[in-house]
Amino acid sequence: MNLLVPFGKLYGLVMDIRNRLFDRGIFKSADLGARTISVGNLTTGGTGKTPLVALIAEILIENNENVCILTRGYGRMNPKTRVLVCDGEKVLVDPIEGGDEPVELAYKLNGKAVIVADADRVAAAKWARKRFGVTVFILDDGFQHRRAKRDLDIVCVDATNPCGNGHILPAGSLRESFRCIERAGAVVITRADQSTSLDALQQKLEGRNTRASIFRARTELLSLTRLSEHGSVANYVCGKDRRKYFAFSGIGNPENFFATLRNNDFELTGVSSFPDHHRYIQRDIDRVESEAKKQNADALLTTPKDAVKLTELKFELPCCVVNTNIVIDDPETFRRLLISS
């Protein structure tokens, strides 16, 4: 019996009331002064949102937009300050100051988007638009951030775990009721390649929202890079071979990372998970390497989100970063949706 269910119902009721107040215009949403696309989740934990934000930014940049990603920067040292993570040319801060996901995004986009970490995204947007002439904002993790008006609401739904245990926080992983998917203008079913019940999930989504465009997405493994060269533009030098690997990560859904490796025929002798947004110290790496050596691993594998926090630590075993992309099943329709929103 889950003793937290009553608290989850109370939290869900509070969220429902809040949403109704926004829907009726009693609570106001602020116009950010430029076209705004929100990318968010209904659940906590990893849904593949960060790679989708990067893909959306890339599409908009290719369309000659001046893109700014607005993010809270969860896990950074001082969450009450505004931090310019990237100025559209170069990465300016480390993960401790800017947060691991914003810095990961900055490297993945090769510094081509302005990225601002600020809990007050309305104020951050005003500042960024004036300083950088932003033409499109992307709200990272913005579905519940209704203070900011948006032109398109995109929601990620993890095909392998779309509703968690079906309960709202703190009893489960839902941030609000699943029926709130009706607010979305588009839904991206992530990790579609790892699910056997996609049609049933799509029918459920269509039953809740008849107007949203629904896309399916899969994770594509691009390459491996040496940890020491992570963030370089073209140093994809640590190719997959028949070595034995030990994988570790501190992300929202590490099991999906490990599943992606196994689905791509990596031989894993073992795995190790850390909490999401974990801040690594040398003792963590020493423990990982000790376990990897016991399992006769030749090298380590980790994620880009972890990699930005590992560059100052010492490794005895080779450590490679697994670079992936998110692939949309109907890329042209998805692109038109972004451009025309």
Per-residue pLDDT at 232: 59
Per-residue pLDDT at 242: 72
Per-residue pLDDT at 315: 97
Q: What is the DSSP string of 166-198?
A: S-BTTTSSBSS-GGGGGG-SEEEEETGGG-S-H
For the chain, how many helices (H) and strands (E)?
10, 12
| Tokens 């810095």 found at | 103
Q: What is the CATH architecture assignment of 239-317?
A: 3-Layer(aba) Sandwich (3.40)
Q: For 33-45, what is the mean pLDDT?
A: 94
**237, pLDDT greater than 50:** no
DSSP character for 265? Answer: T
Q: Please choose, from the candidates 80, 102, 82, 100, the residue with its C-alpha nearest in 3D space to the C-alpha of residue 306.
A: 100
Q: How far apart are CA 207 and CA 214, in angstroms?
A: 12
Q: Over the stretch 80-133, which tens digit does the pLDDT of each residue have? A: 999 999 999 999 999 999 999 999 999 999 999 999 999 999 999 999 999 999
Residue type at position 11 = Y
Q: Which CATH code is given to the segment(s) 1-13+30-65+147-218+325-341?
A: 3.40.50
**274, pLDDT greater than 70:** yes
**41, pLDDT greater than 50:** yes
**240, pLDDT greater than 70:** no
Phi, psi (rounded to 5 degrees) for 259: -65, -40
Is the preceding omega at residue 6 within 30 degrees of 0, hence cis? no
Q: For 205-212, what is the mean pLDDT?
A: 94
Using CA atoms, how far residue 4 sits from 10, 175, 225, in Å, is 10, 14, 43
**339, pLDDT greater than 80:** yes
Q: Could you state, in order of their start, the residue ranges of all structural domains in the chain?
A: 1-13+30-65+147-218+325-341, 239-317
Q: How far apart are CA 266 and CA 264, in angstroms?
A: 6
Domains 1-13+30-65+147-218+325-341 and 239-317 share a fold: yes
**234, pLDDT greater than 70:** no
Q: How far apart are CA 1 and CA 19, in angstroms?
A: 29
Q: How far apart are CA 146 and CA 334, in angstroms?
A: 23
**229, pLDDT greater than 90:** no
pTM of the model as a whole: 0.92
Q: Residue 189 in contact with residue 218, Cβ under 8 Å?
A: no
Per-residue pLDDT at 241: 64
| Tokens 């890339």 found at | 58
Q: Which strand (E) or helix (H) includes residue 300? A: strand 299-302
Mean pLDDT over each residue of the chain, to the nearest integer: 92
Per-residue pLDDT at 1: 65
Q: Over the stretch 156-170, which tens digit does the pLDDT of each residue have? A: 999 988 887 888 999
Q: Over the stretch 175-203, which tens digit does the pLDDT of each residue have? A: 999 999 999 999 999 999 888 889 999 99
Query: Residue 46 — very low, low, confident or very high, per pLDDT cuts 50/70/90?
Result: confident
DSSP character for 169? Answer: T
